[in-house]
Amino acid sequence: MVDYQLLNTTDFVTTLEKEAIIDFLMDNLENYSDSRENVSCAIEYALSKFPHQGGFVLMAREQNNIIGVSVVNRTNFEGYFAENILVFMVVAKQSRKQGIASELLSQTKVYSKGNIMVRMNPNEQNIPLFERNGFLISKTEYLFNR
Q: Where are the domains of the chain?
A: 2-132
- Residue 110: pLDDT band with limits 50, 70, 90: very high
> Are 54 and 46 within 8 A, CB to CB?
yes
Entry pTM? 0.89
List the helix and strand counts (H, then E) for the chain: 4, 5
79, with CB counted inside 10 A (0-12, 13-18, 19+), is: exposed
Of 3.20.20.10, 3.40.50.300, 3.40.30.10, 3.40.630.30, the CATH number of 2-132 is 3.40.630.30
91-102 pLDDT, tens digit each: 999 999 999 999
